[in-house]
A and B are shown apart, each in its own frame.
Chain A
């Protein structure tokens, strides 16, 4: 069986599920951000696969580039917030961080 659209969509679904599992179970803020990155990668595979197999244009690839750009911004801001939380609470366990201020 030749590699078709289904293979890529299933790969994206697996990445999405692993990322969702990471977000659901982790208590470490950085590990949660890693899960979000996995989810975004799965979504990107879907975008590029659809633009390759279904629509034929480049629009899907453009959306994928925008998603990558937003992921970079999200990682920068998210990790900066994690560092700020670590400076105040001396832990990044999201169970232990319950207030917005000291």
Chain B
């Protein structure tokens, strides 16, 4: 086996393992910290796919932003000293059956479908091209994205502040 194959399976195992911890752990704090492994593993997968800029964005936004936000929310909404189960789950068995069948069908159709193949597979720096695309053919969605982020910023502040009672 090649070294790249071994590394791919290693990263995939880390990703899937910590995603399973997120889904099955009984403690919400373990779940939140396991998200770190999943996000970092997905960033590694992006590097394998030649998407260097997306990998950087993944680390910056997911690991640096969303994960910290989730941890803050977990810490603010639970009394850490409580030792009881903080991550209740109901209907495990039916959900497991449904999700298992769905996963089987997905994998089956992925294996059966003859996917289109690109003429050549490139491993080149992508950042400059992505910048060009954002300011040319994707200019309108790009501007809309900034508007959405501004709205989300104001909305989050407005929703989570304390009401002043007079």
- Chain A residues proximal to chain B, CB less than 8 Å: 2-3, 5-11, 13-22, 24-28, 30-31, 33-35, 37-38, 41, 44-45, 48-49, 51-56, 58-59, 61-62, 64-66, 68-73, 75-77, 79-84, 86-87, 92-93, 95
Contacts and interface: CB of A to CB of B under 8 A. Distances in A.
Interface centre among A49, A52, A61, by most B CB within 10 Å?
A61
Contacts of A33: 70
Contact of B66 (A19, A59, A71, A77): A71
B133 to A, nearest CB: 6
Contact of A76 (B95, B145, B152): B152
A68 B115 contact: no
Contacts of A19: 19, 23
Interface of B: 4-5, 8, 12, 15-16, 19-20, 22-23, 28, 31-32, 35, 38-39, 42, 45-46, 48-51, 53-54, 57-58, 61-62, 65-66, 69-70, 72-74, 76-77, 86-92, 95-96, 98-100, 102-103, 106-107, 110-111, 115-122, 126, 129-130, 133-134, 138, 141, 145, 148-149, 152-153, 155-157, 159-160, 162
Looking at chain A's contact residues, the main secondary structure is: helix
Contact of A72 (B65, B126, B134): B65
A17 B159 contact: no
Contacts, number: 215
A36 B94 CA distance: 19
A26 B117 CA distance: 39
A62 B131 CA distance: 10
Contact of A25 (B90, B118, B149, B153): B90
A35 B20 CA distance: 11
A66 B156 CA distance: 19
A34 B110 contact: no
State the 3 A-B residue pairs at the shortest beta-carbon distance, nearest first. A73-B152, A56-B118, A80-B160
B160 A83 contact: yes
B70 A75 contact: yes
Contacts of A10: 107, 110
Nearest to A44: B42
